[in-house]
Amino acid sequence: MSAMNTLQAWLRQAAAERSLRPIDTELPSTLHKLEAEENPLCWLLCCLVSHQYGRGHSCLRIEELQHTPDFVLGFALPDDLKLWLEPKAIAAALQQSDWVQCMEKNTESVEKPLVYAAGRLYLARLWKAEQGVAEAIQTRIQMPIANDSEPPLAELLKRVFAESNDSSIDWQALACAMAAQRKFAIITGGPGTGKTTTVVRLLAILRQKYGDNLRILLAAPTGKAAARLTESISGAINRLPETMQKGIPTEVTTLHKMLGARPFRRSFKHSGENPLPADVVVVDEASMVDLEMMAALMNALPANTQLILLGDKDQLASVEAGSVLGDLCKGAEEGRYSTNTLAMLQPYTPHSLAAFGGSASYASESHASEGEEAPSMYNQATVMLRESHRFGADSGIGNLARAVNAGDIQRLRGGSESLFAAFADIELLSPSAKESGQANDFAALRKLVVQGYRAYLGQITESDTEMVARDQWAREVLTAHRSFQLLVALRKGPWGVQGLNDVVADWLESAGLITRAPGRTKSWYAGRPVMVQRNNYTLNLMNGDIGITLRDPETGKLRVVFEQADGRIKWVLPSRLSDVETVYALTVHKSQGSEFAHTVLVMPDEINPVLTRELVYTGITRASKRFTLVAAKPAVFAQAVQQRVIRSSGL
């Protein structure tokens, strides 16, 4: 059998076993029709780079593929194909292929579907996006900002941080000092560390520096995240000195809306030819922003516009390819500040910052677009907030999140020495020996869920006949719904979204909290919570928006209510909502940008590549007051905490 026949046979098998997606196996055939390529190794590499893109990687690292192919790909590559991965053979195949553009310099124009650069193979679209992001950030970091305005920056910082004490480094103040002197800045930190408070104080400082004509745009990746930021900003503005509150915007939009997304098109209204009308752009929940969306944002910014990213670097990466915030924030804990950056920040704190200086290899601030020097430049524009005002030393949620981030398995296990035994706001539930281990037979989980969702379902049954103000009632129900949420890691299986949504609906119906039409488990009914799965520009509803089905007190008809980013209530006919999903159980990915008083994270009974430290951390930090871990098998939880998300990129 020829090498090409061997490959074709394996591609059919991989597609049948779902190791590869149909688009992965078809891509080389499609390219072959456009530009003939007879080397089966090029076909294989083309399939694999597409496969990696589908798994969230922006590129395929060739050296890692050669050394640990099964680990890199997430499945076992046949031994005979592994023999093809000889360094000289790969180098020759890529250099000779008409599909591949081998980059000598980043300034070359890209005319081929694949790009090979610095040992990484890219789909050309991803290469362009990555280069666009890197170059835009590096250009902005190097762009000087005059610090000679009146009043001086030190005086403005004192005004907005009047309550600050000098017992420790005030990282919020340093974040403002950094961002006020950079055209690009990242403010990262865990939940409750004050990212929103910090950026509002920064905006107050910038308005004092540049005047009332400063154009500021605020955005977040999802409607839910935008609504939360709107609420948080309003509260933070009220805590500013009265003389500095004027002119700070509170309206937050989604990134798609800000950029001018157009239905069925990849491009946006705002681009290099039609840039955003803004002097300052703030993007919250930046960990959710994928590589191509970040590239679109960078492309739409005027050359002089200041960009500030807010986010938690330890959260899950974006659903689509890339881990932009995580890549940019590498080394944020250590600081890794150059001599120049330390000199820029030191005047704004009485405490020495020497411990946060970088080694000699990180001292350069010269332009660096490849290799290990590139992250050093990103460090010079990043400040990590370290003190959580929401989760202090006495918070079980905070201690649990920190233990997960540290991979401290001993403190995460059940038993008398675990965190679950030490704090009242966190608990661990596992099936008893008498129970089957299936969700529908888990009595403690059933009791917890029925009690949790009674908060909003009870609000419906108690209030819908009282004819209170229509929108006020809907808002109260939506607020009550945010008091409890069941989170899951997987979509499929008995412990996934599909299985648990059906089980929970049965539990709630048995408890008399909902009533479904006989034989129609997916029918519309009062109390059904749904999440929008795709942007609907006609209705102004975005992917991730959550609504509750209510019976309209004026008409008696079912309607789905959503709270808009500006606080208004939207009533929508169920028949107009085609791309929605019931969300008694919600994936952790979809929960990003949301917060619930009590969050229950359900872990499946088998380890899965999706189960990672970042997923567990994100699930825990969706809770503001109480967190429950449901572990069918506690060992799976421990394994998940030891499994990290590592996405390949060149940032």
Show binding-site residues: 189-196
Helix (H) or strand (E) holding 443: helix 443-463
Cα separation values, 602 from 211, 316, 318, 588, 629, Å: 50, 17, 21, 10, 6
SS (H, E, C) 471-520: HHHHHHHHHHHCCEEEEECCCCCCCCHHHHHHHHHHHHHHCCCCCCCCCC
- Cα 229 to chain center, whole Å? 15
| Tokens coding 193 | 């560390």
Helix (H) or strand (E) holding 547: strand 546-551
**Contact (Cβ atoms closer than 8 angstroms) between residue 178 and residue 345:** yes
Return d(Cα 426, Cα 403) in angstroms, integer. Answer: 13
Return d(Cα 643, Cα 404) in angstroms, integer. Answer: 11
Q: SS3 for 243?
A: helix
Please, which residues have CB within 8 angstroms of residue 366's CB and are 6 or more apart in sequence? Answer: 373
Return d(Cα 591, Cα 622) in angstroms, integer. Answer: 7
Return d(Cα 233, Cα 390) in angstroms, integer. Answer: 16
> Can you tell me which residue has the tokens 């990242």?
186
Residues at the annotated binding site for ATP? 189-196
- Cα 140 to chain center, whole Å? 23
The per-residue DSSP string of 308-326 comes to: EEEE-TTSPPPSSS--HHH
The dihedral region occupied by 306, where left means phi > 0, alpha psi between -120 and 50, and beta the remainder, is beta
Burial (CB count within 10 angstroms: exposed 0-12, middle 13-18, buried 19+), residue 142: middle
| Tokens coding 298 | 């960078």
Q: CA 202, 312, 627 angle in degrees (round to 5)?
A: 120
> Can you tell me which residue has the tokens 């679950």?
420
The residue count of the chain comes to 651
Helix (H) or strand (E) holding 344: helix 339-345
| Tokens coding 184 | 């690009």
| Tokens coding 565 | 């980013």
Return d(Cα 370, Cα 617) in angstroms, integer. Answer: 31
Please, which residues have CB within 8 angstroms of residue 26's CB and are 6 or more apart in sequence? Answer: none
